[in-house]
């Protein structure tokens, strides 16, 4: 498979009330074709986050945006542009980081989570030195992460809601 240069096709989803930032690495071929984050039908992101926030699973792009904003979630990717072969995180090179510090200035984000290992590596390399906010790595919701079934992913991702509740009560 040949490497192609791609630029992040999606704007970050956030508003001034966003408290939680979830970062992926870079949109997959399927997500780019679907026109929104986590657009691969087998990606479990929407089912996992809906379960964590005890909400209905959003189906349309508009429903997904409403779901995120209603729950104080911002989403984006760590990589602004890169050369990639297909969708595999292992096939990313020449990555340029997104302006995560710029996004943080526009929000009330207090917690940053990363969806998978490449997002964590890229965040730690490019954003953490500027933001000073430690990102918590969650297991990838990608269908390539066969080691985690849906129930196990939900259990791991519940830490987002637990952290929020602890912050509100603490």
pLDDT tens-digit readout, 57-73: 999 999 999 999 999 99
Q: Give the whole-angstrom CA distance, residue 143 versus residue 40.
A: 8
Instruction: Decide: 120 and 11 in contact? Cβ < 8 Å.
Output: no
Report yes or no: 154 and 51 within 8 Å, Cβ to Cβ.
yes
Question: Token digits for 126?
Answer: 């490019």
Give me the pLDDT at residue 110, please.
Answer: 87
Highest mean pLDDT among 54-58, 90-94, 140-144: 54-58
Mean pLDDT value across residues 102-114: 94
DSSP character for 151? H
Which residue range(s) make up the domain with 81?
Answer: 4-169
CA–CA gap between residue 104 and residue 20 (Å, rounded): 10
pTM of the model as a whole:
0.93
H/E segment holding residue 24: strand 20-24
Looking at residue 161, what is its pLDDT?
Answer: 81
Residue 58, classed as helix, strand or coil, is coil
**Residues of the chain above pLDDT 90, percent:** 82
Per-residue confidence (pLDDT) for residue 91, from 0 to 100: 82
Give the total number of structural domains in the chain: 1
Specify the CATH number for the domain of residue 32.
Answer: 3.40.470.10
């Amino acid at each position: 498979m040949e490497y192609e240069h791609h630029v992040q096709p999606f704007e970050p989803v956030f508003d001034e009330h966003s408290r939680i930032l979830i970062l992926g690495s870079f949109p997959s071929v399927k997500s780019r074709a679907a026109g929104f984050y986590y657009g691969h039908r087998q990606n479990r992101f929407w089912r996992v986050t809906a379960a964590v926030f005890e909400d209905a699973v959003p189906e349309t792009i508009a429903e997904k945006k409403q779901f995120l904003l209603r729950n104080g979630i911002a989403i984006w990717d760590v990589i602004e542009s890169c050369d990639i072969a297909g969708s595999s995180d292992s096939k990313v090179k020449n990555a340029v980081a997104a302006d995560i510090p710029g996004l943080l200035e526009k929000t009330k984000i207090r917690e940053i989570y990363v969806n998978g290992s490449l997002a964590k590596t890229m965040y730690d390399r490019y954003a953490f030195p500027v933001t000073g906010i430690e990102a918590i790595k969650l297991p990838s919701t990608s269908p390539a992460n066969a080691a985690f079934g849906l129930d196990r992913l939900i259990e791991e991702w519940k830490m987002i809601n637990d952290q929020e509740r602890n912050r509100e009560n603490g």
